[in-house]
Structure 1
């Protein structure tokens, strides 16, 4: 592997910013010091005036492979993430076929090894009847178990209470939950169908996938986790009401129940349905401006532990269908860091907090081995940013296979200039080097 010397960078890491040089050798950070200018390396990056973050770790993406590759592929979506500073991702099991057996899960790992420019891990999927297979998982080799309490593909909604309790009681790894009560949602949907038929106004989405549906499912999951001592992680919090379920009084390392905020729930509100329509149709739904502000505050004060994207591409043709047929989800991973940096420019968050929520805390929460921090001996997963280089999102620079973005037309104030993945300079000012692929994430867990 080529060695890399980065000089003059403002390093954003572990709660502070300091100007230092970094030497990367054999895929890892070999040395960090104030002046390494006398060192030789194959690649020299002059980072004067720029800011160096640990590579982002996105704990929730849907890359659509296998089975749904007209929407996205591991190759295209990982590449889009790398352009946005994401060096590692954890992908969800609701593909076709679903990753609900170990052989099917390992097929996804094999594919990622061939094509993924970023580092990778894949969630195993829980169903009503695969507990025996779940308990065979090597917890140091898989990021976690995903259970859908809300709508998903095929049989992936775990709605049998005995099956759900069995998973909570017996699975000893990290259990990631999509928490929405399908019964409440179904009843709400029928009311709106009775009034509008299939062409329900998109503005009704947060009323159909309501605060009540989210809180009911999340509170039940938290109660069950407390009953069985489960390591529970609740994904994409979308309501202010749910925030009462989470604690910021203990260190993250000691938390048994953690939570995540997604970019779209901190950026958009129900007012944006008027202009964005089904392009911002997600599950859980984007809700009120108050929900948005309260989620952002909870992220700042550590009731919410990490920031992710829930990157979930669909084609424009699919999204432009009537409400009941338009799928939920959208592409986000190319723009997650620059979106948070816009919040920095607005004075809403510090650079150090961004690194904590998108890098450090994800590594801590999932117990990822040797990643998520800028430390000597750790893998060199790094992203270099010019904080003051504005650019506008357009179809010409969108890299997700679906070819659109809810941010299209928005001018971001900051730009990712370089992304280093496991010591390999994968992205350099718009150019990719795909000669080396990412690596499988490993985890340091006791059981």
Structure 2
């Protein structure tokens, strides 16, 4: 008889590092500390008024006080299919859409539906912290393929080929990337998609940052760039980043009808339908204009340039300019092992996790260490925060990291 209180499956999962950093920063702020949080990927803008209004109107209608189909309101599923064709040229029917409780449930549903124990998933690294945990929960094995700043954090077909085994079932593809902000060119997307198709792999593509690219760099959906993939592609997306709706918790997955039917069955037992009120808000969002994200992008672009310039002014920090999302991924390997002053005397952080802790303790700036996303030696900073906070936070980093000996 097992005496373990917590199952091995759940015990093996790591806490979301990004949410942990954000929670610690918010707790310190609540205690009156002047913490600047670069941790969570969350736009600092309010949800647009017309979306909020749609939710208010829905809340007053008794039909939305009841259960609705587990897979999503039919009108929202159709609107998501229409929006996907509008934005990426990928044709899907409403039957190929499952509305989920945020993007994370779409990630979990997908891997739980596609993976059998021991199946391998190639995960370009640095990766968003939730991917490998969702893969493991689904019984799969994440296989990391690391691309450093020297190659713009972009993996190559040669690297993917080297990671391929007879157990490989899925390639995870994310562009624009969280945590690096890297964006694959249309040519690279096509090449990778054709490679995956030639190996008979599924591709799971997370497109939640599709509208956040800069410097004229286009977003390219691997589902349309490589039609050779046929029906072995699943698209993950949601309203959180495009419409500043992180707290509304509406995401979706788009895939072949049999996969969506199976994932809907899973969700019917796990959570049933997403709350109807946020679903109606999401309907207003995906059916409406992209004005809100265009306005946010102006601010994000300004902050992107400011944070890259500010971090690159620090000796020992190399911060490539991201082409998408709202993160920078700074290479701080040159600072590890250096001596920094602290309240308890000189300290030599050996890892980026130790450096991030030191930064929070000494100058009250919250950043997420590379260990959350792959190898040590990097810091992720979100620039989806106010201009004033960004400037203050970068100034504190310049002052503190500049003291390295």
TM over 0.5: no
TM-score when normalising by structure 2: 0.30
TM-score when normalising by structure 1: 0.27
- Greater share of helix residues, 1 or 2? 2
